[in-house]
Amino acid sequence: MQTIPRTPYESDHLLLDFIETKNLNWDFVLVCKTGSISSPEEDKRLQYLSALQKKGFKIKKVKDGKITFYGVWALAIIFKKYAQLLNNPDKSYLSKEEEVSPTSRIRIVHFFLSKTAIESNGKQENLDDLIKVGVFETAFPLHTKDQTGEDLKKSWARWRDLLYFQPIEEIRSYYGEKVALYFAWLGWYTTMLLYAAACGIIVLFYGLILHYDNSQISNEICAANDTIMCPLCDQNCPYWLLSDTCTYAKAKHLFDNEGTVFFAMFMAVWATVFLELWKRARAKTVSGWELYSWDEDEEELALELINDPECEIQKHEHSYWRSIVVLFGVCAVIAVLIGIAQALVIYRVVVTVSFTLSSWEFLREKANTAAVMSGAVLHYLTIVIMTKVNRVVATYLSNLEQPRTFTERENNFTIKVFIFQFVTHFSSLFYVAFFLGRINGYPGNYVRIAGHWRLEECHPSGCITDLFIQMCIIMLLKQTLSNCVEYLSPYLSYKLRIFKERRSREPAEEGSEDIAAECWRRNYRLGPVNTFSLFDEFLEMVIQYSFTTIFVAAFPLAPLLAFLNNMLEIRLDAIKMMRLKRRLVPRKANDIGIWLQVLEAVGVLAVITNGLVIAITSDFIPRLIYLYIYGPCAKGSAEGINCLAGYVNYSLSVFRTKDFENLTQISEALYTNVTECRYRDYRSPDDYSFSSQFWHIFAARLGFVILFEHVAVCIKFIAAWFVPDIPQQVKNNNLEQKKKHLLEELSKVTEE
Amino acid sequence: MQTIPRTPYESDHLLLDFIETKNLNWDFVLVCKTGSISSPEEDKRLQYLSALQKKGFKIKKVKDGKITFYGVWALAIIFKKYAQLLNNPDKSYLSKEEEVSPTSRIRIVHFFLSKTAIESNGKQENLDDLIKVGVFETAFPLHTKDQTGEDLKKSWARWRDLLYFQPIEEIRSYYGEKVALYFAWLGWYTTMLLYAAACGIIVLFYGLILHYDNSQISNEICAANDTIMCPLCDQNCPYWLLSDTCTYAKAKHLFDNEGTVFFAMFMAVWATVFLELWKRARAKTVSGWELYSWDEDEEELALELINDPECEIQKHEHSYWRSIVVLFGVCAVIAVLIGIAQALVIYRVVVTVSFTLSSWEFLREKANTAAVMSGAVLHYLTIVIMTKVNRVVATYLSNLEQPRTFTERENNFTIKVFIFQFVTHFSSLFYVAFFLGRINGYPGNYVRIAGHWRLEECHPSGCITDLFIQMCIIMLLKQTLSNCVEYLSPYLSYKLRIFKERRSREPAEEGSEDIAAECWRRNYRLGPVNTFSLFDEFLEMVIQYSFTTIFVAAFPLAPLLAFLNNMLEIRLDAIKMMRLKRRLVPRKANDIGIWLQVLEAVGVLAVITNGLVIAITSDFIPRLIYLYIYGPCAKGSAEGINCLAGYVNYSLSVFRTKDFENLTQISEALYTNVTECRYRDYRSPDDYSFSSQFWHIFAARLGFVILFEHVAVCIKFIAAWFVPDIPQQVKNNNLEQKKKHLLEELSKVTEE
């Protein structure tokens, strides 16, 4: 960077008037490396600070070794203007606050800091740009040691408060509305999970008692030690006995029974009621905040004008072409993400075969495990990489849309990141749930990649087992790990910073006895935060919500695990925010914004997928069809016979081993001279075409999907109508206030 | 009614101060029969008028024979209060109107008139009650002879303006926002119908050119003069030849081909785009009306308080029990309405048989026609009766919900009446579309009512023909008739009133030369209107919109007929409002209210039913399955053979006539010694159980429904996202205004 010669005019202009007061509650602190006086950075710094000063800010400078702090404090005139523009007569009856609250102070100051720009080389550089080029290192508001802060530390940000309700009002007055709403929502979500978890446990116990040892189907499977099944892969897989899967079959019936159907229905209703009741809870929480007629757009506009009355307001812009580009961009990213999931599937198939043919015996024997393990590692890596890529692409696409306000930008960004992250996390799950083992063809005519590699088969005990295992891994392992990382990484880096600081501690040059400076140092030591800090927390929880609801039919324990996780998550976030990270810039909000729509979309998707899981992944429909149409009880009740007797045999098709393709090389280690083997499908034994039963069951599956979806949608609508969004009490209070205000106005006319 | 003795206090109290001015623009006119001075009615009347006077109204009395008019005119103080309460500083930059507009004047006066109550026998009686007990005959605002009124008569309410756009702004300044929005919406709907109509005509021509003489299927049917079909009814129905339906088969293929599928898709998109574009059109229309921050609730509250500062404001009330009762009430009414439709079906079945067995030969021969005709008459009667019943029930249920404001009450009422009317009009159509002929069993095992009466069969050429005929009747006959009635009934009754008046004309007692009185008489002569006048117009059009979109797949001409009808409807409504009816009390509104949600619901239903019509009612899916799986082209292209060759034979099952039940008595007039007859179904020729094809086709039908619905929903969401609800221009204007206002406020602070 070239040095700009300082003109006399500019030096005049830059005469800064640092103040020495010690007892102010400083609004914001800017930090930079202590530099030489004539460096271009210092130049820009002074230019920026002087611009601030002209707008009505007091600035205090403290040198502390290699670091220099600038404390910033706003004069009352700024807030007076703000109050005049927004607390106008109409709103006065809603917002009686005479003074600006501490959170509003920080918010407004932050707005001014980030909108103040200096001219450099003909272009405007604002605070973000200055931080990027190293003129400042960072800027942050301060954690205060006042009553609220201490209260929060004592009654919220501690592990031992785990079972208590959160002090939402205090969170609000310390971190602003947005953070308070996040915690209110999280608390609400956790409470609601309790009901879902209870229902999940009941369903599991129901399965345990009625189905574990008692089920006709698992009994038949366990007894089927003369049913030879076709091999599950091409290379040296043996024939196997159906009775080998006895234990799995028993376990499977814990979560694949009519209880699951009920539970899926319950969760569909739960997801709807969840949102409806959250709207009520939100209205109640927000009702005391006097934000009814608050308009974020108007506020941003007002601040913009206070900052610079001459400024050009950005107009609303919209272009259908840009929308189309964004739409295609989003679709392209989704296609890539799904492509990656497919590539992983192919990778596993190809690698398994290569390993089987490898010369290394260990690898040859453990081919399957090795392929699955390396696939899992690759999967994890793609998630980590794509998470970063997704953010970059989402930012780029959001900018393309030219959002006008910060909220608009945030909404656009949120939706895109959520969609991308959702696809990243769920595409492999969707494959396991609905495609794995269903697009494989049949013995003698397997579907093969590039005509060579046969696709993976489901777990021997049925396709729903795979889904169950996947969900287990995600809800147990992944969640625990990510919590540990989330807590330990800021904790360790905080400790590391303290350790480093102790080692490199130089005596402060001046004002080291200053309380304010001490406070600044303490805050500087904490972990950095940014605009996305809260967004990340939200994203994490909404992805968890998706996991909990979308495949809950295959894993009834999901709500319980989510509940336990969230109990920790709340305190973990609280401790992180209060003790390990700098203070977040407070933001005003009267709801959780676009996340509500995201949750609603997840709810709709959950209804669809749960319907599909029951219809397609589970054996619920075939069992039902057998029970009522093909089974022994179809023509009236048959005494002494279980109505599902014979189901296992009925659900398996017959294959003549002489019809195997050449690519299928069977390991004859266990069974020799097998002429017929069985496989799970409904095909004619003659030409292997789909049997009448297949189409019958298929029609029933589709019918169930239609029924499930429409019933769920109806329930959703009725619930939405039945539960008012705003409680009567809140509505009536508001009405009362309005009435009071109107009567005041009326008395003015009458007096005149 | 007993006479209340007049106390001296009351007579004092009732000293009315009638004024004699002739040149005021009177706001409202109250009319009553000229009665004796001491009658209890006269007493109440004076009491009421004196209450008005105390609130700041001037009243003028004109006796005109048997009729007495009271002109009411409001003093400025009322409007001053109104302006103070609602045009407060915050809103001033949105609403610069210094004076209250004529429509607002009438609206406000109407509010006061209807809220003013007198005490009688210990209970409050307001204007509505007084009209009910005959104290007043009616009350209405006046058609004015000012510029707007004349303009509207010249450029809107004339048949010759048929092809011109409507002067929405002038309608607004004469009838208020609500009426203006109705006509804006109606105009918009009509414009949009043009596109749908064009597409419908193209699809029809496509069918005409490609399918009328050229279709393999109709050729096969026409050639099938050796295919003997099973009889269509129990009593003396003959066997018939498939080739008998040759003409119908040809006609049917005009609207049952792949063009229809495209058209159904098109209409699903159309319905979505319709609503999205309407939102934009609305925003544009409303943008000049300065209603952005207008709040109906607040206005009603303000008026309430101006009327009586002491009044008790009704609180918001909500009870889950009441909601449940209302829900069950609505469900019960729907059940009754569907029951009536079913009763009509049973009526026709039973009556046909009775007529066939009747001793009167004429009736015996025309049994079918007689049953259909009497059924149609009965159907018409039930619609007429149920329309009245529905209103009463809807009013009752709406009152149960204890709505707080007028709008709330209107919304509750609207939804209920719409649902009831919808079910009344559509239940028989739904039966024809999805149940007729599909739940009939098969020869030898027919489904029978009470084990005796066989259900009706579809038209010999296929079930979609019945739906087509029904839609034809509704869109052509019913629409034309109802338009005639709608126009002629007020026209004739107006003429009748003039004729009567001329005959019974008595010389006016006083003030007959008075211009105002002359004007009142002229207005009194016009047809009465009420709060529901506009509601009825809306309901009529939304029901038409439902007919146009919901079964459009079976009748592609629906949009064209609706378009032609609406061209007339606009002018017809205009003429009726301007020339035949009294002036409607203007109402403020910034959108069409709950009707938007109703239209949205109809759009969703349209997607579902059109998908179902194509999947279930039409032969599209079976043809497709035959084409790709069972037909001659299934195994690669067969040269020289039409791919649908053999479809007709494939779609008919075989029945051995010896298996007929005893109840089936076949007229052997035409064909004797028939051993096998054919029927439309996919059943095995041996045991008449469903064949594999049946389940295959059934699965395909259900799959199509799922696909169609989900694709349509996706399109809906993308369209909703793609088309912004408010045009950029409107948004930017609003932003500009806000900025201007904020800068003004800001300059105030700076000046201080």
Residue B721 has pLDDT above 60, yes or no: yes
Question: Which residues of chain B have a CB within 8 Å of the CB of A334?
Answer: none
CA dihedral A214, A218, A222, A226 (to 10 degrees): 140
CA–CA separation, A691 and A684 (whole Å): 5
Q: Is A327 close to B748, i.e. CB distance below 8 A?
A: no
pLDDT value for A12: 38
Query: Residue A542: which of A589, A588, A593 has the closest Cα?
Result: A593
Q: Is A703 close to B702, i.e. CB distance below 8 A?
A: yes
CA–CA separation, A209 and A201 (whole Å): 12
CA–CA separation, B82 and B300 (whole Å): 11
Q: Is B706 close to A703, i.e. CB distance below 8 A?
A: no
Q: Among residues of chain B, what percentage have pLDDT more than 90?
A: 26
Range from A187-191, B35-39, B40-44 carrying the lowest mean pLDDT:
B35-39
pLDDT value for A2: 42
Question: Dihedral sign, CA of B162, B164, B169, B174?
Answer: negative
Query: How close B91 gets to chain A, by Cα (Å)?
Result: 8
pLDDT value for B13: 40
DSSP annotation of B48: H
Query: Residue B586: which of B641, B640, B531, B667 has the closest Cα?
Result: B531
Q: Which amino acid is at A15?
A: L
CA of residue A169 relative to chain centroid, distance: 25
A461, A676 Cβ separation under 8 angstroms: no
Q: Among residues of chain B, what percentage have pLDDT more than 70?
A: 93
Between residues B421 and B207, the one the model is more confident about: B421
Residue B198 has pLDDT above 60, yes or no: yes
Q: What is the mean pLDDT of residues B162-187?
A: 89
pLDDT value for A21: 63
Q: Place B752 in a pLDDT band, splitting at 50, 70 and 90.
A: low
CA–CA separation, B134 and B128 (whole Å): 10
**Which helix (H) or strand (E) is B654 found in, with range?**
strand B652-656
Instruction: Quickly tell me which residue has 């006097």 as its tokens.
Output: A290
Q: For chain B, give the number of residues.
A: 752
CA of residue A542 relative to chain centroid, distance: 3
pLDDT value for B88: 53
CA–CA separation, B103 and A86 (whole Å): 32
Question: Which residues of chain B have a CB within 8 Å of the CB of A318?
Answer: 724, 728
Q: Are strands A228-229 and B235-238 parallel, antiparallel or unpaired?
A: unpaired
A204 phi, psi to nearest 5 deg: -65, -45
Q: Retrieve residue B364's tokens.
A: 């015996």
Query: Residue A712: which of A338, A287, A264 has the closest Cα?
Result: A264
**Which helix (H) or strand (E) is B195 found in, with range?**
helix B177-211
Q: What is the mean pLDDT of residues B62-76?
A: 84
Q: Is B742 close to A318, i.e. CB distance below 8 A?
A: no
Q: Retrieve residue B247's tokens.
A: 């003409």
Q: Is A316 close to B748, i.e. CB distance below 8 A?
A: no
Give the DSSP per-residue string, A543-590: HHHHHHHHTGGG-TTHHHHHHHHHHHHHHHHHHIIIIIBPPPPP---S
Q: Is B316 close to A722, i.e. CB distance below 8 A?
A: no
Query: How close B706 gets to chain A, by Cα (Å)?
Result: 7
CA–CA separation, A654 and A70 (whole Å): 81
CA–CA separation, A49 and A54 (whole Å): 9
Q: Specify which residues B72 forms β-bridges with.
A: B28, B59
The Cβ of residue B675 has, within 10 Å, a number of other Cβ atoms equal to: 9
Query: How close A749 gets to chain B, by Cα (Å)?
Result: 6
Instruction: Quickly tell me which residue has 């608009």 as its tokens.
Output: A408
Q: Place B506 in a pLDDT band, splitting at 50, 70 and 90.
A: low
Chain A to chain B Cβ contacts (< 8 Å):
121
A381, A358 Cβ separation under 8 angstroms: no
List C-alpha distances in Å: A346 to A219, A343, A350, A471. 36, 5, 6, 21
Q: Is B313 close to A722, i.e. CB distance below 8 A?
A: no
CA–CA separation, B70 and B53 (whole Å): 12
Q: Retrieve residue B34's tokens.
A: 């000229």
DSSP annotation of A527: B
Q: Which amino acid is at B543?
A: I
Of B316, B317, B706, the CB nearest to A702: B706
Residue B38 has pLDDT above 90, yes or no: no
Q: Retrieve residue B609's tokens.
A: 């039913």
* Residues B301, B303, B306: CA angle, nearest 5 degrees: 110
| A608: closest chain B residue by CA | B710
Q: Specify which residues B30 forms β-bridges with.
A: B70, B139
What is the SS3 assignment for B684?
coil
* Residues A91, A95, A99: CA angle, nearest 5 degrees: 120
* Residues A260, B705, B205: CA angle, nearest 5 degrees: 175
Q: Retrieve residue A503's tokens.
A: 């080692």
**Sheet strands side by side (includes B138-140):** B57-64, B67-74, B28-33, B138-140
Of B90, B706, B749, the CB nearest to A706: B706
CA–CA separation, B164 and A296 (whole Å): 42
CA–CA separation, A94 and A295 (whole Å): 13
Query: Residue B608: which of A712, A718, A602, A710 has the closest Cα?
Result: A710
CA–CA separation, A411 and B319 (whole Å): 36
Q: Place B18 in a pLDDT band, splitting at 50, 70 and 90.
A: low
Classify burial at B221, counting beta carbons within 10 Å of its beta carbon; exposed 0-12, middle 13-18, buried 19 or more.
buried
Of B318, B721, B746, the CB nearest to A85: B746
Of B305, B698, B703, the CB nearest to A742: B305
pLDDT value for A558: 92
Q: What is the pLDDT of residues B241-282, one digit of tens each?
A: 998 888 888 888 887 888 888 898 898 889 888 888 999 999
Question: Which residues of chain A have a CB within 8 Å of the CB of B81?
Answer: 746, 749
Between residues B741 and A190, the one the model is more confident about: A190
pLDDT value for A99: 67
Question: Which residues of chain B have a CB within 8 Å of the CB of A721?
Answer: 323
Between residues A672 and B442, the one the model is more confident about: B442
CA–CA separation, B552 and B557 (whole Å): 8
Kindly report the average pLDDT of chain B as a whole number.
85
pLDDT value for A390: 94
Q: Place B652 in a pLDDT band, splitting at 50, 70 and 90.
A: very high
Q: What is the mean pLDDT of residues B392-398?
A: 94
Selection from A211-215, B193-197, B211-215, B308-312 with the highest mean pLDDT: B193-197
Q: What is Dmax (Cα atoms) for chain A?
A: 110
What is the SS3 assignment for A177?
helix
What end-to-end distance do the CA atoms of chain B give, in Å? 68
CA–CA separation, A736 and A752 (whole Å): 25
Give the DSSP per-residue string, A636-653: SPPTTS-TTTTHHHHTEE
* Residues A378, A382, A384: CA angle, nearest 5 degrees: 115
Of A695, A732, A735, the CB nearest to B695: A695
B622, B697 Cβ separation under 8 angstroms: yes
Profile chain A (752 residues) by mean pLDDT over runs of 10 residues.
Answer: 40 54 76 80 86 86 84 83 67 51 87 87 86 88 82 82 83 91 94 94 88 81 89 84 88 83 88 89 86 78 85 85 93 95 91 84 81 89 92 93 87 94 93 89 87 86 87 87 88 89 62 71 88 89 93 90 92 90 89 91 91 89 90 76 87 90 78 86 90 93 93 88 88 87 80 64
* Residues B529, B414, B539: CA angle, nearest 5 degrees: 60
Q: For chain A, give the number of residues.
A: 752
Query: How close B203 gets to chain A, by Cα (Å)?
Result: 29
| A708: closest chain B residue by CA | B706
* Residues B565, B567, B572: CA angle, nearest 5 degrees: 85
List C-alpha distances in Å: A351 to A261, A355, A356, A452, A453. 37, 6, 8, 13, 10
What is the SS3 assignment for B628?
helix
Residues in contact with A551: Cβ distance below 8 Å, sequence separation at least 6, in sequence order? A429, A433, A467, A471, A558, A609, A610, A613
Of B89, B699, B746, the CB nearest to A305: B746
CA–CA separation, A158 and A155 (whole Å): 7
Residues in contact with A475: Cβ distance below 8 Å, sequence separation at least 6, in sequence order? A547, A548, A555, A557, A558, A561, A562
Query: How close B210 gets to chain A, by Cα (Å)?
Result: 33
The Cβ of residue A175 has, within 10 Å, a number of other Cβ atoms equal to: 24
Q: Place B145 in a pLDDT band, splitting at 50, 70 and 90.
A: confident
Query: Residue A740: which of B88, B85, B80, B407 has the closest Cα?
Result: B85
pLDDT value for A299: 84
